[in-house]
A and B are shown apart, each in its own frame.
Chain A
Amino acid sequence: MSLNASLGLQLGSLDLDAHIAVADGEVVAVLGPNGAGKTTLLRCLAGLVAVDRGRIELDGDVLDDASSGAFVAAEARHVGVVFQDYLLFAHLSALENVAFGLRARGVGKAEARGRASDWLDRVGLTAHARYRPQALSGGQAQRVALARALVTQPRMLLLDEPLAALDVGTRGDVRRDLRKHLDSFGGATLVVTHDPVDAYALADRVIVLEAGHISQQGTLAEVTAQPRSRYVAELVGVNLIAGTLRAGVLQTDDGAAVVTAGDTPDGAALAVIRPQSISLYRNAPEGSPRNAWQCTVADLDQRSERVRVLLGGPLRLVAEITPAALAAIDVRPGDEVWATVKASEISTSAR
């Protein structure tokens, strides 16, 4: 049950254009900022929206083909969906919710309840079978939603922000459980999320969707090691600088120069600077660093063992220093500092 989809869709201000392939048993996370089109993508795959261009194929069956006009309605696709907010039916008990998909497909009441009961057991909610959704906690509701989607043995599983509605405390446990269930599910799985930790914990592969287009794909390690967009860079907490590389010096559009080491060819390029590699000085530094920029402190974010300093000026940077270092330079927002980075600590890649 593998998914092969290339979709094009215009919806309001969103122009979605993406090609996605997910193999059997693979879990792919779709990561991206709000408004990127992640939910729209999911709705296309689920059959709730038809694509304008392209084609969706699941295990060889054409679900949607814009050119031929073929379209399989959502109820016929046999795709399981866990929605944001779970969307449990408030007038039905947890057991009836889980049994819904089976009953809708014509399975007899007794058998449907039996299978639903088994699944509730698997997610550890047997005691809550008779509860209405309003009486369930966030984590319990999420498990019911998952059971409801999986009991029908769908060909593909789509999850839209499955952990977003949970508070931080329960999120970890629920994530672990979810991973277990996804592992045992044989079909292709797509998880939409804005939290890279979810992507890390649940997915084998990550697709980064921004403004309707895929900006990066790969394993999470690959993506975060080589961020190709500001979004990903901010996600992983590194500084990303775009510019033109010439003879080892990256020139930004604002006129700043970053001296780099490395063998990326000349042309459009990205430079990644880890916040921890940046050193700050009150006065212009001497010594080996060839990268030294005079910046203005925009904000200080003091954590327990680290201080994040937001810098403005020729380059927008985030530097991370120890509290002791901060005390040594004694700066406040608005003050001028010198930021330096060793060229060897900067990684570059072609754009």
Chain B
Amino acid sequence: MSAIYPGRSTRRRTRRGRSRPPVAAVLLASVAVLFFALPLLGIVIRAPWRSVWHIVNASEVRQAVWLSLKCSLTATSLSFVFGIPLAWVLARANFPGRGAVRALCTMSMVLPPVVGGVALFFSLGRKGLVGQYLYRWFGFMLPFTTWGVIVAQTFVAMPFLVLTVEAALRQFDPRLDDAARSLGGSPWYVFRRVTLPSIRPALIAGLVLCWARALGEFGATITFAGNYPGTTQTMPVITYLAIDTNPEQALVLSLLLIAISFAVLVGLRDRWLGTGANAGAASFGGAAS
């Protein structure tokens, strides 16, 4: 890069080369940053720091945290098992109505979560379209159970994984699959050893977003699965109810959820921004050095 004048630093040149952002843009951007920062700062500043540890240690809080983690991870795993094939089909298979199928599968992303909960209620509830058979034949019901929470979370979180992976698969050069098959790889081997590893950054980003969404899911959970400590009372649910009766607990729980989300996003940053460049193995013959 600075091979021409090895002695000189490159900073001078880039400074002269860049134009400064217009003042109006900076001001508007500051407002936007404030918009996001203030609510979070409000919680951080108003949190009862002295009693944080005591509150976090309360048995119902610990139960809620543990349940949230268990359910969100399970929901993410289910999203992986069913979502990756869906992403593959949407990216590669060409069939009529593909756009409609994609819209259907990702609709829960734009639906208000409570609507999702209502929908689950009437389909998988004890008297639901399918739920009634589940109950009648197997005596199994989803509402009021941990599996109900997992189903609700998967319903709202899977689209995040599907869309991210589908986008990456579209960018991925399908000729690499051809190359792998010509070398003797079965379609499954090729998918495992070539396609998935090549979209790894997008895959990880998708999984993390999916998990974060599942962790924060509230509307569908409380409507469909209910609320009971240890079984269905996840962190967002206990936080919601605590606002009215135990605001300190609500603050601390919010703090915990914010900390987790922040850590996730900061850790993911490079992957997320790098999706365009890294996803899709670049074919390679270009001169590098």
Report the separation of the CA atoms of residues A86 and B187 in the bound assembly, to the nearest whole angstrom.
Answer: 20
Shortest Cβ gap from A101 to chain B (Å): 4
B179 lies within 8 A of A83 (CB) = yes
- Given the interface pairs A101-B183, A104-B189, the reply to whether A137 lies near B281 with Cβ below 8 Å is no
CB-defined interface of A97-133 with B at 8 Å, one 1/0 digit per residue? 0001101110000000000000000000000000001
Shortest Cβ gap from A132 to chain B (Å): 9
Q: B270 at interface (Cβ–Cβ under 8 A)?
A: no
Count residues on chain A whose CB falls below 8 Å from chain B CBs.
41
Stretch at the interface among B43-51, B52-60, B190-198, B215-223: B190-198
Q: Select A89's contact among B180, B182, B288, beta carbons within 8 Å.
A: B180
Q: A11 at interface (Cβ–Cβ under 8 A)?
A: no
Which B158-216 residues sit within 8 Å CB-CB of chain A? 173, 175-176, 178-187, 189-190, 193-194, 197-198, 200
A136 lies within 8 A of B288 (CB) = yes
Report the separation of the CA atoms of residues A46 and B180 in the bound assembly, to the nearest whole angstrom.
Answer: 12
Q: B284 at interface (Cβ–Cβ under 8 A)?
A: yes
B285 lies within 8 A of A90 (CB) = no
Report the separation of the CA atoms of residues A88 and B176 in the bound assembly, to the nearest whole angstrom.
Answer: 8
Q: Select B180's contact among A78, A80, A90, A100, beta carbons within 8 Å.
A: A100
Shortest Cβ gap from A150 to chain B (Å): 11
Which B232-289 residues sit within 8 Å CB-CB of chain A? 281-289
B179 lies within 8 A of A137 (CB) = no
A91 lies within 8 A of B181 (CB) = no
Residues of B within 8 A of A43 (CB): 178
B184 lies within 8 A of A75 (CB) = yes
Which A260-303 residues sit within 8 Å CB-CB of chain B? none
A104 lies within 8 A of B175 (CB) = no
B184 lies within 8 A of A138 (CB) = no
B176 lies within 8 A of A89 (CB) = yes
Q: A141 at interface (Cβ–Cβ under 8 A)?
A: yes
B200 lies within 8 A of A137 (CB) = no
- Given the interface pairs A83-B175, A91-B198, A104-B189, the reply to whether A75 lies near B181 with Cβ below 8 Å is yes
A89 lies within 8 A of B285 (CB) = no
Q: Select B181's contact among A74, A89, A138, A148, beta carbons within 8 Å.
A: A74
Q: Select A142's contact among B178, B182, B200, B285, beta carbons within 8 Å.
A: B285
B182 lies within 8 A of A81 (CB) = yes
Residues of B within 8 A of A103 (CB): 193
Number of A-B contacts (CB under 8 A): 108
- Given the interface pairs A48-B181, A81-B179, A91-B198, the reply to whether A165 lies near B285 with Cβ below 8 Å is yes
B284 lies within 8 A of A100 (CB) = no
Residues of A within 8 A of B186 (CB): 75, 104
Which A71-98 residues sit within 8 Å CB-CB of chain B? 73-81, 83, 85-91
B284 lies within 8 A of A86 (CB) = yes
A87 lies within 8 A of B176 (CB) = yes
Q: A135 at interface (Cβ–Cβ under 8 A)?
A: yes
Report the separation of the CA atoms of residues A103 and B183 in the bound assembly, to the nearest whole angstrom.
Answer: 10
Q: A193 at interface (Cβ–Cβ under 8 A)?
A: no
Residues of B within 8 A of A216 (CB): none
- Given the interface pairs A48-B178, A87-B176, A104-B193, the reply to whether A141 lies near B183 with Cβ below 8 Å is no
Report the separation of the CA atoms of residues A87 and B282 in the bound assembly, to the nearest whole angstrom.
Answer: 8
B179 lies within 8 A of A90 (CB) = no
A138 lies within 8 A of B183 (CB) = no
Beta-carbon nearest neighbor of B284 in chain A? A133
Q: Return 22 A-B CB contacts under 8 Å, by A number.
A: A46-B178, A48-B178, A73-B181, A75-B187, A80-B182, A81-B178, A85-B175, A86-B283, A86-B285, A88-B284, A89-B180, A89-B198, A90-B281, A90-B283, A90-B284, A100-B183, A104-B184, A104-B186, A104-B190, A136-B284, A137-B287, A141-B285
Give B residues with C-beta under 8 Å from A: 173, 175-176, 178-187, 189-190, 193-194, 197-198, 200, 281-289
Q: Which 3 A-B pairs have the closest CB atoms?
A: A101-B183, A90-B281, A104-B185
